[in-house]
Amino acid sequence: MPFATDEERELVHLLVSVMNAREQEGARVSRILHDEVGQILSAIGLQLDLLRMDIAEDVENIPRRIADIQKVIETAVTQVRDLSYELNPSIVARTGLPFALDRLVGRFRKTFSGGLRLLFDSSVRVPLEPATALFKIAEQALDNAVQYSGATQIEILVKPAKGAVVLEVRDNGKGFAPVHGTGGLGLHLMTYQAAQAGLKFSVASGPEKGTIVRAIYRAAK
């Protein structure tokens, strides 16, 4: 799905540059949260645990109060780790595509009231660059479906198909009538990500027929 005009192409390239800069800053903040703040909170929890064991026989109420504090710290550690994963664009490199997509679906389930599921064939293997592109396409397609489609059911599938790997994001929303060379910013960004990673990209949709966003990775022979 090529861009309709040179102006559209330049706009998308500019937006991608801005997004890359934001990703780099997000990665830096993510490292701080995970490596520094997270470790400090974990160390505090460990010290409280040792303290609780030391005084368990002497003062009855203090161990309970310390245990309550530890629960709060554990919650904070979990939130820091979750935020670290969401901010860090290298999640695919660190955890692999299946886990990254699982985290993505978990994040969207917090705001999407309909049914949302991920089906990932365990036999699928994708190199890092196309895997990262597939993740970004899935993220954008999911965001579009949640925000604009009015869907009640969304499904992400990753499956092998005749020597290739296929990503599909399907929804049962209101759909639209795709016109060659046109579309919203999200569609242009997905097109760009696919082109950069050498993926075949397409969108199938129609009024009141839902939408299927499809990206195909095929290893070079």
Separation CA 155–CA 172 (nearest Å) = 9
Query: pLDDT tens across 56-108, in order?
Result: 666 666 777 777 777 777 777 776 776 666 666 578 888 899 999 998 898 88
The band of 155, judged by pLDDT with boundaries at 50, 70 and 90, is very high
Q: Please tell me which of 35-44, 48-57, 70-79, 205-214 the model is most confident about, judged by mean pLDDT.
A: 205-214
Between the CA of residue 60 and those of 49, 57, 69, 112, what are the distances in Å? 15, 7, 16, 45
The band of 182, judged by pLDDT with boundaries at 50, 70 and 90, is very low
Token pair recorded at residue 216: 């195909």
pLDDT at residue 63 in the model:
74
Q: How many residues does the chain have?
A: 221
pTM for this prediction: 0.67
pLDDT at residue 165 in the model:
97
Separation CA 186–CA 153 (nearest Å) = 20
pLDDT at residue 117 in the model:
96
Report the DSSP beta bridge partners of residue 171: 154, 211
Is pLDDT at 44 greater than 70 in this prediction? yes
Per-residue three-class SS string for 136-179? HHHHHHHHHHHHHHCCCEEEEEEEEECCEEEEEEEECCCCCCCC
Q: Which amino acid is at 84?
A: S
- Roughly how many angstroms between the first and final C-alpha of the chain, as a whole number? 24
pLDDT at residue 141 in the model:
94
Mean pLDDT along residues 129-138: 94
Superfamily classification of domain 92-218: Histidine kinase-like ATPase, C-terminal domain (3.30.565.10)
Top pLDDT among 127 and 181 is at: 127
pLDDT at residue 122 in the model:
92
Top pLDDT among 179 and 196 is at: 196
The band of 208, judged by pLDDT with boundaries at 50, 70 and 90, is confident
Separation CA 99–CA 95 (nearest Å) = 6
The band of 203, judged by pLDDT with boundaries at 50, 70 and 90, is very high
Note whether 97 and 157 are within 8 A (CB).
no
pLDDT at residue 181 in the model:
47
Token pair recorded at residue 197: 């990673």
Mean pLDDT along residues 144-151: 90
* In the chain, domain spans: 6-87, 92-218
Is pLDDT at 21 greater than 60 in this prediction? no
Contacts of 118 (CB under 8 A, 6+ apart): 101, 102, 105, 155, 156
Top pLDDT among 66 and 206 is at: 206
